[in-house]
């Protein structure tokens, strides 16, 4: 049976309903993961949970040790990763309160450790990243969202910026011209590192605010909190449906 891990982002500090069995802090060639990885059960299903920003401390997006996080999950026998990301909405359908299951990504980050490949093997690690999110896992998410009548957008282009500052209005106009539907700060290099290790990776984006220049009010964490709370409930429902359909014996 395939083993699932959940990576939580802003607003998802714990996996509600997780019956904790034990915690793991695997040593990796790249240091320690953001936080001890929780192993537990949701219903009858064994899952792992990692908060990428740490908690109770808060690691900013550009300083997250993505390589250690992904390597640690792989070392625990994880096959599939479902990442949860808080994002800003750019295009009209991507309004606050919307769940998005993106199918493409554009990476605007820089200076992050983007690969496990250090050249030591003598072979270059040219992964195929045509479809950055695992198709089978994405389709499973879409199917259970439809079956559970969970409102969502079944595709979208996820633009990933450096952070931790939010974008300027001009930068959002540029992302819109590039075709981005949502913008966040943590989707890369998480997705490509998972691909390098052969892990199936997909994400659910929670739209928590209009992107810069597209709303009437300044963007603040305070204005996002209520939307985060509501969307976290829907994400938990989506996860429960997914576990019941894909990971239970």
Strand ranges (E), 66-193: 80-89, 99-100, 104-107, 157-160, 182-184
Instruction: Assess if residue 159 is contained within a domain.
Output: yes
Domain of 149: which CATH number? 3.40.50.1580
Within a domain: 120: no
- Identify whether 125 is part of a domain: no
Q: Which own/partner contact pairs does 25-30 have at CB distance under 8 Å and 24+ positions apart?
A: 25/72, 26/71, 26/72, 26/75, 26/76, 28/67, 28/68, 28/71, 28/72, 28/75, 29/71, 30/65, 30/67, 30/68, 30/71, 30/113
Residue 119 covered by a domain: no
How many CB atoms neighbour CB 224 within 10 A?
A: 20
Q: How many domains would you assign to the chain?
A: 1
User: Among 88-97, 188-197, 235-244, where is mean pLDDT lowest?
Assistant: 235-244
Distance CA 154, CA 19 (A): 30
pTM > 0.95: yes or no: no
pLDDT digits (tens, 9 = 90+) for 127-167: 899 999 999 999 999 999 999 999 999 999 999 999 999 99
C-alpha separations of 13 from 35, 66, 95, 108, 113 in Å? 11, 17, 23, 26, 24
Residue 124 lies in a domain: no
Whether 168 maps to a domain, the answer reads yes
Strands 45-51 and 157-160: unpaired
8 forms beta bridges with 51
Quickly state the pLDDT bin for 223 (edges 50, 70, 90). Answer: confident
Contacts of residue 198, defined as CB under 8 A and 6 or more positions apart, other chains included, come to none
- pLDDT reported for residue 229: 83
* Closest to 53 measured CA to CA, from 77, 26, 86, 30: 86
Domain residues for 232?
Answer: 4-114+130-247
In a domain, 202, yes or no: yes
The verdict on residue 19 lying in a domain is yes
């Amino acid at each position: 049976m395939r083993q699932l891990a959940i990576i939580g982002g802003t607003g998802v500090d714990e996996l509600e309903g997780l019956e904790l069995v034990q915690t793991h802090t695997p040593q990796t060639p790249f240091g320690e993961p953001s936080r001890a990885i929780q192993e537990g059960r949701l219903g009858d299903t064994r899952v792992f949970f990692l908060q990428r920003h740490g908690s109770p401390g808060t690691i900013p997006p550009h300083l997250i040790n993505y390589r250690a996080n992904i390597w640690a999950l792989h070392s625990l026998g994880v096959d599939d990763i479902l990442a949860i990301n808080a994002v800003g909405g750019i295009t009209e359908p991507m309004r606050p309160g919307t769940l998005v299951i993106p199918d493409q990504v554009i990476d605007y980050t820089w200076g992050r450790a983007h690969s496990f490949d250090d050249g030591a093997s003598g072979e270059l690690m040219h992964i195929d990243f045509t479809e950055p999110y695992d198709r089978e896992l994405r389709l499973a998410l879409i199917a259970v969202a439809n079956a559970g009548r969970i409102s969502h957008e079944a595709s979208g282009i996820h633009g990933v910026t450096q952070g931790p500052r939010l974008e300027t209005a001009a930068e959002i106009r540029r992302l819109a011209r590039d075709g981005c539907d949502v913008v966040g700060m943590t989707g890369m290099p998480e997705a490509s590192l998972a691909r390098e290790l052969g892990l199936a990776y997909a994400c659910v984006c929670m739209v928590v605010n209009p992107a810069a220049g597209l709303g009437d009010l300044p963007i603040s964490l305070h204005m996002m909190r209520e939307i985060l709370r509501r969307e976290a409930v829907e994400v938990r429902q989506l996860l429960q449906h997914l576990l019941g359909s894909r990971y239970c014996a």
